[in-house]
Amino acid sequence: MLQNEKTISESTTTNRDNISNSPKINELFESYYSQLYLSECHVTIDSLNFFDYIKIPSFSVEIKAELDSPTTINEVSDTIDKMKGGKARMGLQWIVVKHLKISYYLLYLICW
């Protein structure tokens, strides 16, 4: 992408005047953002109670219990079996997945 494709060639002031002069456009942006960051935040009671009116979904007791239960060896095994090491058979991702699969297999043979 060329540098001139990224530039802002024209902007509009608060008075609805069009500006095409680059230094003036820079001044306009500088003024706008200076005022934006200096402005104070006015918090109202309604904005503080915003979340009181939103219904946030929650998990059932059964789902919570399932999610809190320990990970099983079958879940680990299934997940490792489903991992793909990349099509090119090279690179860091393939090495990590291959290492996990071999390490898991060896640990499985030794421990179970």
Q: Which residues pair with 18 in a beta bridge?
A: 12
Compute CA distances 27 → 12, 37, 38, 93, whole Å.
12, 15, 16, 48
pLDDT score recorded for residue 14: 81
Which single residue is written with the structure tokens 């043979």? 109
Lowest mean pLDDT among 40-44, 71-75, 89-93: 89-93
User: What is the H or E stretch that residue 24 is in?
Assistant: helix 22-38
pLDDT in tens, 30-50: 888 888 878 777 777 777 787
Contact partners, residue 73, CB within 8 Å, separation at least 6:
112
pLDDT score recorded for residue 5: 63
